[in-house]
Amino acid sequence: MAYTSLEECLLDLERNGQLIRITEEVDPNLEMATIHHRVYEANGPALLFERVKGSRFRTASNIFGTLDRSKFIFRNTLHHVQNLIQLKNDPIRALKHPIKNFTSAIAALGAIPYKNPLSKPVLFEEISIQDIPQIIHWPNDGGAFVTLPQVYTEDIDSPGIMKSNLGMYRIQLSGNDYILNEEIGLHYQLHRGIGVHQTKANKKGVPLKVSVFVGGPPSHTVSAVMPLPEGMSEMSFAGVLGGHRFRYTYRDGFAISTDADFVITGEVIPGHNKPEGPFGDHLGYYSLTHSFPVMKVHKVYARKNAIWPFTVVGRPPQEDTSFGQLIHEITGSAIPNEIPGVKEIHAVDAAGVHPLLLAIGSERYTPYQPTKQPAELLTIANHILGTGQLSLAKFLFITADDSNLISTHHEAAFFQYILERLHTDRDIHFHTHTTMDTLDYSGTGLNTGSKVVFAAYGEPIRTLNTDLPDALKNVSTIVDAKLIIPGVVAIQTKQYIDAAETKKELKGIEEQLLNNIDSFTGTPLFIWCDDASFTSQNLRNFLWVAFTRSNPSHDIHGIQSFYENKHWGCKGPIVIDARIKPHHAPAVELDPAVVKKTDRLFEKGGSLYGIC
């Protein structure tokens, strides 16, 4: 069905057993987020909090908590969006199947945003920032944040909704040095459309007008996170996905989404920044306090009986994992069609999405050569690392599979396939002094770090060990060692001190291994970590530890490493130093006292009894 409001969606979920109302009063300071976290972990329903301490507005969360629930919400329109994307990739399909594709074409034509509707629900009343539920998600957060915002800006040189940008950039409502009700923080990262708009406004020396929409039909929220091609309107996409045209108007020169539950309008003044953060983010660590643009609040609007939606991010998987799954469900083969030769790309959620990409490409450059080695794969890898948000990746593992038997979504099997074929002296390629995800603190500074490509192709050159090599047990500095998956071992020594000490430790380990170096032929990868038992406990832990706590150029080492004509390689195992470093951000953890406080809701008589 086509929802015209968030409440319509929530009532539909409730009718179908996919939403629970929480009637007890809940504190937005940590308690609400903790409840959300526990329900999400239990694969539970969407939540509607009816009594929010300190606010007269209701809140809702976990709306997109499972892929099945997201598909249910868009059950009548998802096929139109998928079909339109396929038609974009293969326009000839429209000629081959004109009747089948007719309804999708009509849906696209009906998605043009609709200006000045007669009904303007969100303008029902003006409120203040302090009236909004002040949700604090993690114990060390710097204040209350908006976690499902739709941040709208226009191109100052080409104003209007069809050249606008709608993105999900977190908003800090309170805390730090922000003047309550007058200022809020606007945090956005690399490769975001809003940056282009702000750059143009700054050059002209004029404020950038910003509207923050919260709530409204669920298609509006999804459109704000969709990685659409530059120039494609998020509002038109929202219309197709929601089966309901994006309705808007202008008030005091600011764009207003009239179906939203809340709208915050304001201006970003050139050069006016303030500290934003900390905030427990989607890599599972806090993003720390940094200077980001300040939005001077103009007016705040709310519709009658408005509902404030929120989510909680942290160590994946979280609700934003389901966003990623929905995006994949919608886009299907869009990325492979954008990058010639690519068959699959998988941004690994367990590793925080941006840190780790797995890819399958093609290898067609030299079919006449008897020796198989990466060639086209390296061209594809450069294309991947130069494409949109894929360019934020740190680690890219890429191969070609002539048999079409492997998948990037089966991570353990994919790693084994790569490691069986990886020439550690040839197939590792670094990009240094480059950009990385703003939220990743493993690099050398904010937005700065390195990347590495592991490109492997050809016949297997080794059989991976399925047992821990005995020689590791005789290394005096190794406190513990555990096999993670075939060919990959977690090694635990003392805590990280500095680069100089790391060099000494590595030399000592190497000296003790050289006498038995042949026994490590089947173990080409060591993960140097703080807790070998935790890292090897499951695949999720391995992916999180190994790829969120390492900066390729600084933290990849090797046994018997060498440089040859600027190329780095090693003859023995690769060593990824994934120990926690002094410059890393702390990991997010729930407050045990708050968890205990929320037990009342899950016990007999509580609204959530039987969920966990």
What are the pLDDT digits (tens) for 108-145?
A: 556 789 898 777 899 999 999 999 999 999 999 999 99
Same-domain pairing of 350 and 278: no
- Residue 602 domain-assigned (yes or no): no
Same-domain pairing of 130 and 90: yes
Give the residue with greater pLDDT, 337 vs 428: 428
Indicate the pTM of the whole model. 0.90
256: which residues sit within 8 A by CB, 6+ positions away?
A: 120, 122, 123, 211, 248, 249, 250, 263, 265, 301
Whether the CB-CB separation of 360 and 398 falls below 8 Å is answered with yes
- Residue 593 domain-assigned (yes or no): no
**Mean pLDDT throughout 151-169?**
90
- Residue 605 domain-assigned (yes or no): no
Same-domain pairing of 366 and 217: no
DSSP state of 457: -
Whether the CB-CB separation of 202 and 178 falls below 8 Å is answered with no
Q: How confident is the model at residue 473 (pLDDT cuts 50, 70, 90)?
A: confident
User: Is the CA virtual torsion 384, 390, 395, 401 positive or negative?
Assistant: negative
Same-domain pairing of 306 and 323: no
pLDDT of residue 108: 56
Same-domain pairing of 532 and 495: yes
395: which residues sit within 8 A by CB, 6+ positions away?
A: 351, 355, 356, 357, 451, 452, 454, 547, 552
pLDDT of residue 332: 66
Domain boundary among 456, 478, 503: 456
pLDDT of residue 337: 65
451: which residues sit within 8 A by CB, 6+ positions away?
A: 385, 393, 394, 395, 396, 430, 431, 434, 436, 552
- Please give the single-letter amino acid code of residue 602: F
Per residue in 6-22, pLDDT (tens digit) is 999 999 999 999 999 99
What range does the domain containing 343 cover?
Answer: 319-456
pLDDT of residue 293: 93
Domain boundary among 386, 421, 456: 456
Q: Which of 169, 146, 140, 182 is nearest to 277 (CA)?
A: 140
Same-domain pairing of 46 and 96: yes
pLDDT of residue 594: 97
Helix, strand or coil, per DSSP, at residue 324: helix
Same-domain pairing of 447 and 475: no
**Above 80 in pLDDT, residue 85?**
no
Per residue in 169-197, pLDDT (tens digit) is 999 999 999 999 999 999 876 456 788 88
pLDDT of residue 92: 41
What's the half-sphere exposure (Cβ side, CA atoms, 13 Å) at 245? Answer: 14
Same-domain pairing of 251 and 149: yes
Phi, psi of 36 (to 5 degrees): -55, -45
pLDDT of residue 230: 57
What is the residue-wise DSSP string for 325-369?
HHHHHHHTTHHHHHSTT--EEEE-GGGTSTTEEEEEE---S-TT-
Distance CA 49, CA 23 (A): 7
Q: Which of 34, 24, 20 is nearest to 63 (CA)?
A: 20
- Residue 398 domain-assigned (yes or no): yes
Selection from 1-5, 348-352, 365-369 with the highest mean pLDDT: 348-352
Same-domain pairing of 334 and 292: no
- Residue 587 domain-assigned (yes or no): no
**Above 50 in pLDDT, residue 99?**
no
Same-domain pairing of 436 and 488: no
CA 284 from chain centre, in angstroms, equals 11
- Please give the single-letter amino acid code of residue 162: M
Per residue in 279-306, pLDDT (tens digit) is 999 999 999 999 999 999 999 999 999 9
Phi, psi of 27 (to 5 degrees): -85, 125
- Residue 463 domain-assigned (yes or no): no
pLDDT of residue 329: 83
- Residue 368 domain-assigned (yes or no): yes
The CATH number of the domain holding residue 377 is 3.40.1670.10
Same-domain pairing of 34 and 60: yes
The CATH number of the domain holding residue 167 is 2.30.110.10
Domain boundary among 310, 328, 352: 310
pLDDT of residue 439: 81
Helix, strand or coil, per DSSP, at residue 385: coil
Per residue in 221-238, pLDDT (tens digit) is 999 988 776 556 888 889
Same-domain pairing of 258 and 392: no
How many structural domains is the chain composed of?
Answer: 3
pLDDT of residue 96: 42
- Residue 117 domain-assigned (yes or no): yes
The CATH number of the domain holding residue 502 is 3.40.1670
